Amino acid sequence: MTKPLTGLMPACPTSLTAEGGADVASMKAVVRHMLDNGASGLVPLGGTGEYTSLSPETRIATIEACVEAASGAPVYAGVLAPGLGDALPAARAFAEAGADGLMLMIPYYVKLTQSGVIDYFHAVRDAVDLPIMFYDNPARSHFVVDTDTIAALAEDGTINSIKASNTDMAAFDRLVRSVGPDFSVLSGQDTLFAQQVALGAVGGVLTSAVLVPGIWAQVQELAADGKLAEAIALQRSLEPLMAALFCEENPVPLRHALALIGLETGSSPVPLHPLSDSARKQVEKAMSDLRASGVNLPRAG
């Protein structure tokens, strides 16, 4: 049996060299920063990790670096592929690189059906002996996966967890009530984390948790203990940071925020642009204001 996932598993950016390859030393430093400051695991190569922009070689080197630096903490490698032709070799390569699991998104080009989603996940499950986290993000996949579909995949053991980035809170509540106690429901929405923990999430795959995993762990503890008003108040203190991190396309603002605490992760590949001056100032102000309010923004190293 795979140990259930809990706590903060940040969706982290991929550290890149000037040539676009994997910056192994930087990636290891990012991983240690997250784990040393309150994260319980990590999810590289998701949307924040720019899976679709990277070469297979860069992806594999990134997972190898993450696994080495994680020292046993769970590493779930993102597979955001348009179909099995990319998904299966990537999944096999990540398994060989030492990943503890996969975060698998549905194909985002073909016109899907609910049964097609099930067939796709079964195909990956049958090809690779790794636990699978379902990445549900209809804003990116442009397809709404039914709660019954997810519950069926959980019931037959195909998936052991979900990153729930669907902002439909009623659907989230149905999902929590549709899966068993050993299935890990993880919030994928920074702005709704406290509320989703109150409904039954046992952790989160959050972008801003790359910077401040410890604060998000406090939010989770408060919400899980029934102190929802306090949890939301703490969460709201992070709203300027969350707004800054998504003021332009993710993860470009996050890369600048990490640089401000001593973690250089390189530049995002084309088609993403460097951070604009106004966005740069917004990120810097959010970080400065957090420090001024007494929030600890730990520096790398």
Catalytically active residues, by annotation = 135, 163
DSSP 218-243: HHHHHHHTT-HHHHHHHHHHTHHHHH
Mark the binding-site residues, compressed into ranges: 48, 205
User: What domains are there in the chain, each with its CATH number?
Assistant: 7-225 (3.20.20.70)
User: Which residue stretches of 17-107 are H helix?
Assistant: 24-36, 56-70, 84-96
The pLDDT, as a whole number, for residue 293 is 84
The pLDDT, as a whole number, for residue 301 is 52
The dihedral sign for the CA sequence 68, 70, 76, 81: negative
The pLDDT, as a whole number, for residue 300 is 58
For each successive 10 residues of the chain (301 residues), what is the average pLDDT?
86 96 98 96 98 98 98 98 97 98 96 97 97 96 96 97 96 96 96 98 98 96 98 96 97 97 96 97 96 75 52
> Coil, strand, or helix at residue 102?
strand
**Token match 């409904």: residue?**
199
The pLDDT, as a whole number, for residue 2 is 66
Mark the binding-site residues for pyruvate, compressed into ranges: 48, 205
Dihedral, 161, 163, 167, 171 alpha carbons, nearest 10: -10
**Whole-angstrom Cα distance, residue 129 to residue 171?**
29
Please choose, from the candidates 192, 153, 191, the residue with its C-alpha nearest in 3D space to the C-alpha of residue 172: 192
Dihedral, 74, 78, 79, 81 alpha carbons, nearest 10: 170
Amino acid at 53: S
DSSP 104-135: EEPPSSSPP-HHHHHHHHHHHHHH--S-EEEE
> Coil, strand, or helix at residue 150?
helix
